[in-house]
Structures are given as structure tokens and as C-alpha cells.
Amino acid sequence: MKTVIIPAIDLIEGKCVRLTKGDYSSAKVYDNNPVDMAMRFEDLGVTHLHVVDLDGAREKHIVNYKILEQLASKTSLQIDFGGGVQSSEDLKIAFESGAHQVTGGSIAVKNPGLFEQWIREYSSKRIILGADSHHEKIAVSGWQEASELSVEPFIRDYIEKGIQTVIATDIAKDGMLQGPSISLYKSLLQAIEQPWNLIASGGVRSMQDIEALNQIGCYGVIVGKAIYEETLKLEEIKNYNA
């Protein structure tokens, strides 16, 4: 199976933006209408969409759920939603607003008991683990806080608790268009032998990067800035999906 290309839509004040290394002051608006952007992705044969509520990540509760509702109602994309989902009420809102899956990052670090409850209640098909790391240490709260948790045992522990899919982001690569952390992903896939789906995130700049991730066995790849800055052409995505 080929690596799935998953375009990213990051939301601030309802607009489609991109950050560099998670720095809110670096926010650049690419589109005022995320729904139009999502419909364009769908026309390319894209089946999955990664949506991040950056306002929610900063406020520590879901904020842009109305945009999520529009994305879900006007496309048939399978939407993975994250950012600010810190409570069971937030999770319920995300699913009721149309998310197919919800990614928990900070909550998995700060309140593992609650996150494990979500896995049991909603199943690992609907709950994704977000493993955002810097120098292989897990970071939380929209990357504003570092932890002492190492990325590989952190992921392994949750796979043993039932998680099937993990989005692994190397913060140092995010938004830099300098290539993904192939070595990190390769080492994670080799070290963790249980069946699991690794979605790579951060640094992708070209179809060559996607092919490299495909070769090492990544289930999916999240692509953001490369699409918006057009270092990865929409026609290339369409041809890949065809």
C-alpha cells in the first residue's frame, strides 16, 4: 500500500495558516476559506485531511469546531482533528462536528488516564496519538512546553495500550521545507515491532520526500507548507493518487 498523502489545514481565527516550528508569531495566512481549500484537495483524489485548531491548542479547549462542521458537511474527506482537545466534552464536540478521528497529544502526556479512557471508549480507530518531538523529546501545548519523555518509549507505551495510529512530528523540521526526519521515522519503525501506522509530519517539500517515506513504510504523510508554497504541485498529488 502506498503512503497516504494527507494535506493539512491549520486554523487561526477560521483562516488557513501555516506556522514555522510551531511559532505563532510566524503565522502566515494562505487562504481565508478553508472549505474551498478542502474541496480543492478532494478534487485531487485526496481522501484524508488533517485539521489543527491552533486557537484551540493555545486556549486549551476546542475553538474552531464550526469550521470543522463545514469541512465535514461539504466534503467526504476523512478528517483527523486535533488542537485543544483537552476534555471529554471537547472530544464529544469534535466528533459531533464531523471529525472521523481525533488526535490527542498534550492530553496523552498530561492526563494519560483520561486519554486511555478515550481509547477504550472510542477505539483506536478513532483516537490517534500525536507524538510531537524536539531532539526526540516530547513537546506539548502547541509545542510551547517541553517534557523529559523520549519519543520512542512514549509511542511504544501507547501502542501497548491499544493505539494503532501515531502522527510523529519533528518540530525542528516543521514548516522548514528542508525534508522530513527520515532517520527518526526509520528508527521508530525498526524499534517498535508491533503492528502500527506511522504518519510522518514536518519538513516535506517534494514528491521525492513522499517517495522516501513510502520506501521506509510510513502509512501516511501530512503535507502543509509544501502545498501552499507550491514546492509540491497539486498536479503531482493528483497523479500520485491516480
- Rounded to an integer, what distance in angstroms lies between the CA atom of residue 17 and that of residue 225? 9
Opening angle at CA 192, ends 186 and 197, nearest 5 = 75
Contact between residue 195 and residue 160 where contact means Cβ atoms under 8 Å apart: no
Q: Beta strands of 135-207 (E only): which ranges?
A: 137-140, 145-150, 165-170, 197-201
132 catalytically annotated: yes
Alpha helices in the chain, H assignment, sequence order: 34-43, 54-59, 65-74, 88-96, 106-110, 112-122, 151-160, 182-191, 207-216, 225-228, 234-241
User: Does residue 10 have an active-site annotation?
Assistant: yes
CA quadruple 33, 39, 40, 45: dihedral sign: positive
Q: Active-site residue among 53, 55, 132, 174?
A: 132
Enumerate the active-site residues: 10, 132
